[in-house]
């Protein structure tokens, strides 16, 4: 995806709103489990302003695009969660963490179903450009949401997968392991810009999931 490609803007909007829905899901599940922090701070909204993080929502995707990275990734400002309000401690933290990637999977599967229904009923040699644009948007929704789900489920702090993985660790070990997440966006950017290994791993998982959806 080139920075000169006019579709880049549409893809960035899709990425931002996919990340916003990811964060809203965290907050909604946290509220269902006893923590209303996200709602009290106005984060259960589709209004992008409370969710936009300058680094994760704008700068990181642009850096990856400009660097020619095959993986375009971003995120919204993390929804605040107070684990002391949750009913079952680390178990509920894991459920809250799982809600975000699960939402991205639901978005990807839904867009995939619509894509295949439309593509199966269109003549590839006589399709108006408007419908081709719709198909491209649906394909981008699938692609970016699968990428968000795969990436966030990696057991690397501060990603969601680390909080799920921490559930099987002893409490003190889990606390030390999750403390790596204090490095935040800097750690994520470093891993994404590594020469090959990390991107290769994500690419394999990403292509496998896309294959399951028929792409």
Is the pLDDT at 4 greater than 80, yes or no? no
From the list 72, 82, 14, 85, the residue with the least C-alpha distance to 43 is: 82
pLDDT confidence band for 68 (50 / 70 / 90): low
Helix (H) or strand (E) holding 133: helix 129-152
Q: Is residue 2 part of a domain?
A: no
Q: Is residue 85 part of a domain?
A: yes
Is the pLDDT at 22 greater than 90, yes or no? yes
Q: Is residue 1 part of a domain?
A: no
23 as an active site residue: the answer is: yes
Q: Is residue 169 part of a domain?
A: yes
DSSP string computed for 49-112? TTT--IIIIIIHHHHHHHTT-S-----PPPPP--GGGSTTHHHHHHHHHHHHHHHHHHHHHHHH
Q: What pLDDT was estimated at residue 163?
A: 93
Q: Rounded CA gap, 26 and 106, in Å?
A: 14
Q: Is residue 172 part of a domain?
A: yes
Alpha-carbon torsion angle 90, 82, 15, 206, nearest 10: -10
Question: What is the per-residue pLDDT across 138-188, written as a single tens digit (0 to 9) for each?
Answer: 999 999 999 999 989 989 888 999 999 999 999 899 989 888 877 766 777
Provide the mean pLDDT of the chain: 87
How many distinct structural domains can be found in the chain? 1
Question: What is the per-residue pLDDT across 69-122, written as a single tens digit (0 to 9) for each?
Answer: 666 777 888 899 999 999 898 999 999 999 999 999 999 999 999 999 998 887
Q: Is residue 93 part of a domain?
A: yes
Cis? peptide before 158, omega within 30° of 0: yes
Q: Is residue 76 part of a domain?
A: yes
8-state DSSP, 11: H
Q: Considering the candidates 23, 31, 88, 171, report the single residue annotated as catalytic.
A: 23
- Of 6-15, 47-56, 87-96, 121-130, where does the model show the most confidence? 87-96
| CB neighbour class for 186 (10 Å; exposed up to 12, middle 13-18, buried from 19) | exposed
Percent of the chain scored above 90 by pLDDT? Answer: 51
Q: How far apart are the first and last CA of the chain?
A: 17
Q: What residue numbers bound the domain in which 173 lies?
A: 7-212
| CB neighbour class for 68 (10 Å; exposed up to 12, middle 13-18, buried from 19) | exposed
């Amino acid at each position: 995806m080139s920075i000169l490609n006019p579709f880049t803007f549409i893809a960035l909007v899709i990425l931002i709103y996919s990340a916003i829905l990811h964060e809203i899901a965290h907050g909604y599940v946290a509220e269902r489990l006893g923590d209303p922090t996200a709602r009290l701070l106005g984060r259960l909204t589709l209004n992008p302003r409370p969710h936009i993080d300058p680094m994760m929502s704008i700068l990181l995707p642009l850096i990856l695009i400009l660097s020619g990275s095959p993986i375009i990734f971003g995120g919204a400002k993390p929804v605040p969660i107070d684990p002391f309000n949750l009913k079952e401690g680390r178990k509920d933290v894991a459920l809250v963490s799982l809600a975000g990637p699960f939402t991205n999977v639901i978005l990807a599967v839904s867009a995939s179903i619509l894509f295949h229904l439309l593509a199966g009923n269109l003549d590839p040699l006589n399709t108006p450009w408007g419908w081709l644009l719709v198909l491209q948007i649906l394909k981008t929704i699938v692609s970016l949401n699968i990428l968000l789900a795969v990436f966030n489920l990696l057991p690397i702090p501060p990603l969601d997968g680390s909080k799920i993985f921490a559930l099987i660790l002893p409490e003190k070990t889990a606390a030390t392991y999750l403390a790596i997440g204090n490095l935040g966006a800097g750690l994520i950017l470093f891993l994404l810009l590594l020469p090959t290994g990390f991107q290769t791993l994500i690419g394999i998982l990403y292509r496998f999931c896309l294959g399951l959806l028929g792409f």
